[in-house]
Structure 1
Amino acid sequence: MPVWETVIRSIFAFTLMMLIARLLGKSTIAQMTYHDFVASITLGAITANIAFNDKISLWNLIASAITYTGIAYLLMALSLKNRRFRNWFSGKPTLLIQEGKILENNLRKLKISLDTLNQELREKDIFNIREVQYAVLELNGHLTVMRTPESMTATRKDLQLKVPSKQIFPIELIMDGKIIDNNLEQNHLSEEWLLAQVKKQSLSLDNVNYAVIGTDGTIYWDKVKDRIPNPIDTA
């Protein structure tokens, strides 16, 4: 197969997989349940064949990719509408620790060793298993932990500290030196207002790399030239 044909087929395969990923949605990528895992492995193999395998008809490979995409989409739709289907196709969360007690039978069913359980706990900064009241293995394979009351992190409310009356979602105004017009429009802010804020900082728009309204309502500014005398280089 000529090199140019391989390049074109690879670009087509990549584009096709991007379209499939967009169709199946972000939740499929993030959750990766049983049928999502099977679909992704299969579609990956089909896509590789589209790019390199000239022994199989390209149209047959495309038909196969579309068929598997349809199956994955149908299973996702059924799982959303029917809990019985969802439990069968996606599985259910499984308790591994209940009221501080390790459930050995559940560990054996899932083929999880105590070493693996301890590793998962350490990744959540839990080195003492006594601090765990409940541990649940979620559908996407992640471990969710509920600590015992005495080992939970204290909140501002617990410490009777002043809590901000209101917080807002951060609003990015400038990124990579470019004004984000959509964010201004959605939050009823004008470009004139933004330029006035830039001027208040004794800056020009050309010297602003990033600007965002934080959760407390104040604007964080990052300059293009930070003028740090000895920047740390981790490379």
Structure 2
Amino acid sequence: MDLIHTSIELILGFIALLIVTKLIGNRQISQITPFDFISAIVLGELLGNAIYDREISIFHILYALFLWGMLMLTVEMLTQKYLKVRGFLEGNPSIVIRKGVIDRDELKKNRLDINELQNLLRQKDVFSIREVEYAILESDGKISVLKKSKYMVPTNEDLKLSEKPVYLPVTFIIDGEVLWDNVKACGFEEEWLIKQLKRHGIDKPEDVFYAEWKEDEGMYVLPFEHK
């Protein structure tokens, strides 16, 4: 009976947690603010502690998840509507390098030292502070960099080159499985795909580890490595 009771609570808790997560919205890990991180931990703790506490009923579990989810959803709505609330809960970007000069006050305010700043810059492929005109510490802890003009990569406009159309690569095969929706969305059929694979010396899709299509370059195929 204990196993059945625990199973029921886990299933209901899982469903409730999934619903709450979908209501709040999806974010990448890099986009999670400190408030989001703490809220997610509390949400997991509510479910975990409630499931293994025999004095708490399934109703209490669902109620706790629902109430916490509504509180999080309310905060999300407030941050979208009011800038002051958004700045208080999520933080504001800080200009840590302005016109090539490090702003020490902003570094102190964000509890950031010069070594950590250099670490963040290297993650942006900037290995010397002298290359930076502006650097902005974002609310999620990442840094955005605007280089000085002489360190920027030249564009086609700078080199006076004509513009070329840009095409998005579309994945056709992953681990031997054909993504037929993608194939058909590009206007192709199975017969065409098989012919393309044969041109690469492959008889069937099951032998393909990865394949993608790009309009200006055609098929790119990686077969499984046979040992």
In structure 1, distance between residues paired with 2:127 and 2:74: 42
In structure 2, distance between residues paired with 1:187 and 1:76: 38
Q: Which residue does the alignment assign to 1:123?
A: 123
3-state SS in 2 of match to 1:46: helix
Q: Which residue does the alignment assign to 1:232?
A: none
Question: Deviation at 1:213?
Answer: 0.8
TM-score by length of 2: 0.82
Which 5+ residue runs of structure 1 have no aligned equivalent? Answer: 229-235
3-state SS in 2 of match to 1:85: helix
2:176 maps to a residue whose letter is: G
1:121 maps to a residue whose letter is: L
Q: Deviations over 1:72-97 (max 9, x none)?
A: 22222333334343333322111111
3-state SS in 2 of match to 1:220: strand
1:49 is aligned to 2:42: no
Q: Which residue does the alignment assign to 2:63?
A: 63
3-state SS in 1 of match to 2:54: coil
Q: Which residue does the alignment assign to 1:210?
A: 210
3-state SS in 2 of match to 1:117: helix
Q: Is the 8 A contact 2:43 2:65 kept in 1?
A: yes
Q: Which residue does the alignment assign to 1:186?
A: 185
Q: Which residue does the alignment assign to 2:32?
A: 32
Q: Is the 8 A contact 2:97 2:133 kept in 1?
A: yes
TM-score by length of 1: 0.80
3-state SS in 2 of match to 1:133: strand
Q: Which residue does the alignment assign to 1:95?
A: 95
1:140 is aligned to 2:140: yes
Question: Deviation at 1:141?
Answer: 1.5
* CA RMSD of superposed structures (Å): 2.9
**Runs of 4+ residues over 6 Å off in structure 1:** none
Q: Is the 8 A contact 1:34 1:91 kept in 2?
A: no
In structure 2, distance between residues paired with 1:148 and 1:64: 52
Q: Is the 8 A contact 1:28 1:36 kept in 2?
A: no
Q: Deviations over 1:44-84 (max 9, x none)?
A: 22122134333433322321111111122222233333434
1:168 maps to a residue whose letter is: Y
Question: Deviation at 1:136?
Answer: 1.0
Question: Deviation at 1:227?
Answer: 4.9
Question: Deviation at 1:31?
Answer: 1.4
Q: How many residues align?
A: 226
Q: Is the 8 A contact 1:212 1:219 kept in 2?
A: yes
Q: Which residue does the alignment assign to 1:231?
A: none
Which 5+ residue runs of structure 2 have no aligned equivalent? Answer: none
In structure 2, distance between residues paired with 1:141 and 1:201: 45
Q: Which residue does the alignment assign to 1:175?
A: 174
Q: Deviations over 1:123-142 (max 9, x none)?
A: 33333222221111112121
**Which of 85-94 and 137-146 deviates more?**
85-94
Q: Is the 8 A contact 1:39 1:69 kept in 2?
A: no
